[in-house]
Amino acid sequence: MRTVKTKVYLFTELSEEAKETAIENYRNKNYYNSFYYDEITESVKAVIDLFNLSTGRQYSDIRTDSIDDNILELSGARLYTYLINNYYSDLFKPEYIKTLDREFKANAFICKVRTDHKGEKYTQIFSKFKVSNECVLTGVCYDNNILEPIYSFLKKTTNETFEDLLQDIGHAISKSYSDMEEWLYSVEYITDSIQGNDYEFTKEGNIF
């Protein structure tokens, strides 16, 4: 048995060449957390359930077989009315105002009294008159990214059919995954992740 002493370095202490090696090794070994992909997938599943869709081998391969052709062909004002009548309460939620660390009730607001893990009550307060479309399905930003074709149509009605909008959602799903992958493999993300985790390296840039 023998003992080998090796100097280890933080990322900021490496040479530029060693930093490039460290980044490339990190990228190739996929050290990133799948948590981010899971968040997108949860939003995708929520949208698919909302519109009663199915998919092919990839989530972006949207299938509309379960929707009547007459509905798929709706456009313009008729499609706007259909979306409002059938999906308004899913696409828009009462606007959040604030949270109080106590039980609170007032007729002027929507007050949701909840209990935290310590058994203490708190109150989330929402408006009765204003709505929001921010992260309405899962609470994360991917809801908005994927539903953007629907919100854009409701904001400015076009001649697109419902089927067109659903296919646009498929494109939005694909873009969400590709944008995420591009970010996770970027120098900026990898550098932040390495430094945030205080990884140590050999002089050559190999993780220790």
The per-residue pLDDT for range 85-96, each reduced to its tens digit, is 999 999 999 988
The reply to whether 195 falls in a domain is yes
Do both 18 and 86 map to the same domain?
A: yes
User: In this structure, are 108 and 149 located in the same domain?
Assistant: no
Amino acid in the structure at residue 90: D
Pair (103, 149) in one structural domain: no
pLDDT of residue 9: 86
Instruction: Let me know whether 174 and 86 are in one domain.
Output: yes
Domain count for the chain: 2
146 is a domain residue:
yes
Residue 35 included in any domain: yes
Does residue 161 belong to any structural domain of this protein?
yes
Query: Residue 122: which domain range?
Result: 94-132
Asked if the structure places residue 208 within a domain, the reply is: no
pLDDT digits (tens, 9 = 90+) for 29-75: 765 567 778 899 999 999 999 999 999 888 889 999 999 999 999 99
Give domain status of residue 82, yes or no: yes
Total-model pTM: 0.79
